[in-house]
Amino acid sequence: MRIRTAGVVAVLGLALAASGCGGSDSDKPAAKESAKAAGGKLVIWADDKRAAALKPFADEFGKENGVTVEVQAVSKDLQTNFVTASQQGSGPDVVVGAHDWIGNMVQNGAIDPVQLAAEQKSAFNETAIKAVTFNGQLYGVPYATENVALLRNTALAPEAPKTIEELVQTGKKLKAQKKVQEILCLQAGQNGDAYHVYPLYASGGGYLFGTTANGDYDPKDLGVGKPESIAAFQKIAKLGEKGDGALKRSITGENSIATFTGKKCAFLVSGPWAVADAKKANIAYDISPVPGFAGGKEAAPFVGVQAFYVAAKGKNKALAQEFVTNYVTKPELAVALYRAEPRPPALTAAFDQVKSEDPDLAKWLEAGKNGQVLPAIPAMAAIWDPFGKAEAAVIGGADPAKTITAAGKTIAGQIK
């Protein structure tokens, strides 16, 4: 028995030693690098996808200037971890993320405004600059915009529908012919998805926040729970499970694109990230704006912007500002980031450069033309969850008036 125990210890020890060696081997190059560079160190946090795309450029920036640049990927809760780490002085110098984080990052003093010269500013798409402006200050340097649109399988539905009713009609016909299983792939899920359903909500006349005199969103004027929002959800209810069956809770973020690429539905409401899958599955597709209700308003999708921010408590702020204001604003970087991830660049020059090689880009921009900038005010955080759940309940057949009034009450209670 003792011998055996000793054996276990020995084998485990060996295994550990082996994996330990592996581990330390991989650590060594990194250690050498940082010892070699005489200059300062710049740490950038991004999510996994972007971190991978950014790495080569960060390395190049480092090499050009004799500094070390580390791009680190935070897999979950990037924004929360950034704010917490910043507070305690262990955060990065630069963070990359969606523009609707700005409100929260500012209220925690986690990011500083960026100062762009007028000619730098004018090189960007106007919507993108508007999105990263908060309380009259510019807080980030945008590099790409994104919004949802309607993708359709042109083999099944050659014509872009003008209204949602037309879409439902085509979908129903295809379903009756057993060509598809679902009328429309618009992800909702058990708890709803405010982002994807928003174009329909807007078309039905609903709004989230009113705007103040200077064009900012006003958290005191909440649109959810107002008569317009009830009217919008009554229209959405007609598309739901007890109505046309075009909106279903069983269509989720995990399966909506897969169902479209599997040719089980002819229409998909999604963003530029869905294109890669459609291409991979060899689907003949086209992109058009999300159609609105007949006789309703335009179906305005949310426009989101991805941006670079300078951390307020970074250890190397000057270098961070240098990177964000002078390097990120170059069209070459924007083009390269586009190649890593095809979404419309926010720099006009970069957009024009890639427009010719990718006809989709102009279509995405066209679909987002009527879009509304996703509100960056902290109060927006209170919207997502109750709004999504109300959507799911209405799709499932709950009474729109009662549901939306309750959601409005919950949201209002959470906004300070």
Partner 1 sequence: MTTPTAVPATGNRAGTARRRGNRWLTQVGWRHLVAVLGVLFSLFPIVFVLSAALNPLGTLSSTELVPTAGVTFGNFGELFQRTAFAHWFLNSLLIAGVASFASIFLSALAAYAFSRMRFRGRRVGLLSLLLIQMFPQFLAIVAIFLIFATVTDLWPGIGFNTPWGLLLLYMGGALGVNTWLMKGFFDTLPRELDESATMDGASHAQVFFRIMLPLVAPILAVTGLLAFIGTINEFLMANVFLTSTNSKTLAVGMYGMLQGNERNANFGIFAAATLLTAIPTVLVFQFLQRYIVSGLTAGAVKG
Partner 2 sequence: MSTSLSGSGPAQQAPGRGPVRRGLPRTSRTARNHAPITATGLAVKVVLLGLVAGIAIWAAFPLVAAEHWVGLGILAATTAGLGYLYLGRRHIPAKYLVPGTIFLIAFQVFPVLYTASTAFTNFGDGHRGSKDDAIVAIQTSSVKQVPGSAQYSLSIATQGDPTTGALVFLLGDPKTKEVFAGDAGGLRRLDPGQVESSSLTGKVTAADGYTVLNIGQASVRSKEITDLVVPTAGGAIRSNGLTRAYEGRAVRAYDAGCDCVKDSETGRTWTADAQAGAFVAADGERLTQGWKVNVGLQNFSRVLTDDTISGPFLGTLVWNFAFAIASTGGTFLLGMLIALALHSPRMRGSNLYRVLLILPYAMPSFAMLLVWRDLFNTDFGLVNNLFGLGVDWFGGSWTARFAVILVQLWLGYPYMFLVTTGALQAIPRELTEATSVDGASPWQSFRAVTLPLLLVALSPLLISSFAYNFNNFNAIYLTTEGAPFPADNPTNGATDLLITYTYRLAFGAQGAEFGFAAAISLLIFTIVAVVSAVSFRRTRKQEEVYS
Residues that bind partner 1 (CB under 8 A): 1-2, 4-5, 8, 11-12, 15-16, 19-20, 22-23, 26-27, 30, 45, 47-52, 70-77, 81, 84-85, 87-90, 98, 146, 187, 253-259, 261-262, 270-271, 273-274, 277, 280-281, 306
Give yes or no for residue 398 binding partner 2 (CB under 8 A). yes
> Among residues 24, 107, 122, 212, which is the contact residue for partner 2, using CB under 8 A?
107
Minimum CB separation of residue 286 from partner 2 in Å reads: 25
The residue among 114, 239, 221 whose CA lies nearest residue 169 is: 239
Minimum distance between the CB of residue 382 and partner 2, rounded to whole angstroms?
5
Minimum CB distance to partner 2, residue 373 (Å) = 19
> Distance (Å, rounded) from C-alpha 47 to C-alpha 374?
20
Span from 20-28, 101-109, 296-304, 359-367 in contact with partner 2 (CB under 8 A): 101-109
Residues 151, 268: contact at Cβ < 8 Å?
yes
Q: Which does 34 bind (CB under 5 to 8 A by kind): partner 1, partner 2, none?
A: none
> Would you say 81 or 353 has its CB closer to partner 1?
81
User: Between 68 and 370, whose beta carbon lies closer to partner 2?
Assistant: 68
The residue among 353, 362, 360 whose CA lies nearest residue 286 is: 360
Task: Among 73, 281, 362, 381, indicate the residue that binds partner 2 (CB under 8 A).
Answer: 381
SS3 state at 72: strand
Residue 89 CB coordination number (10 Å) = 9
Nearest Cα to 57, choosing from 308, 276, 305? 308
Q: Binders of partner 2 among 329-368, rule CB under 8 A?
A: none
Binding of residue 318 to partner 2 (CB under 8 A): yes
**With CB cut-offs between 5 and 8 Å by kind, which of partner 2, partner 1, none does residue 256 bind?**
partner 1
E-strand spans in 254-410? 267-270, 285-288, 302-311, 372-373
- Output the smallest distance, CB 226 to partner 1, in A: 29
Binders of partner 2 in range 214-253 (CB under 8 A): 248-252
In eight-state DSSP terms, residue 391 is: H
Bridge partner residues of 185 (DSSP) = 268
Rounded to a whole number of angstroms, the minimum distance from the CB of residue 258 to partner 2 is: 9
Smallest gap from residue 189 Cβ to partner 2 (A): 9
Stretch that binds partner 2, among 28-36, 160-168, 319-327, 341-349 (CB under 8 A): 319-327
Residue 42 in contact with partner 2, rule: CB under 8 A: yes
CA 362, 366, 370: angle at the middle one, nearest 5? 155
Least distance from C-beta 206 to partner 2, angstroms? 16
Q: What's the CA gap between 240 and 398, in Å, rounded?
A: 10
| Residue 166 CA from chain centroid, whole number | 29
Alpha-carbon gap, residue 136 to 134, rounded angstroms = 5
Q: Mention every residue, 6+ apart, whose C-beta is less than 8 A from residue 291.
A: 150, 160, 161, 162, 163, 164, 166, 167, 299
Pattern of binders to partner 2 over 272-311, x per CB under 8 A?
Answer: ----------------------------------------
Q: Where are the beta strands (DSSP E) in 212-362?
A: 217-222, 267-270, 285-288, 302-311
Contact region with partner 2 (CB under 8 A), list: 110-118, 161-169, 279-287, 338-346: 110-118
185 contacts: CB under 8 Å, gap ≥ 6 = 251, 256, 257, 259, 260, 265, 267, 268, 269, 270
**Which residues ranging from 65 to 94 are in contact with partner 2 (CB under 8 A)?**
65-67, 80, 83-84, 87
Q: Which is nearer to partner 2, 58 or 382 (CB)?
A: 382
Among 19, 34, 72, 115, binds partner 2 (CB under 8 A): 115
- Amino acid symbol at 33: E
Examine residue 40 and tell whether it contacts partner 2 (CB under 8 A). Answer: yes
Rounded Cα distance between 131 and 299, Å, is 19
Contacting residues for 374 by C-beta, under 8 A, at least 6 apart: 98, 99, 100, 131, 302, 303, 304, 380
Q: Is 382 in the site for partner 2 (CB under 8 A)?
A: yes
Separation CA 281–CA 258 (nearest Å): 9
Stretch that binds partner 2, among 203-211, 272-280, 283-291, 380-388 (CB under 8 A): 380-388
* Binding-site member from 81, 321, 348, 353 for partner 2 (CB under 8 A): 321
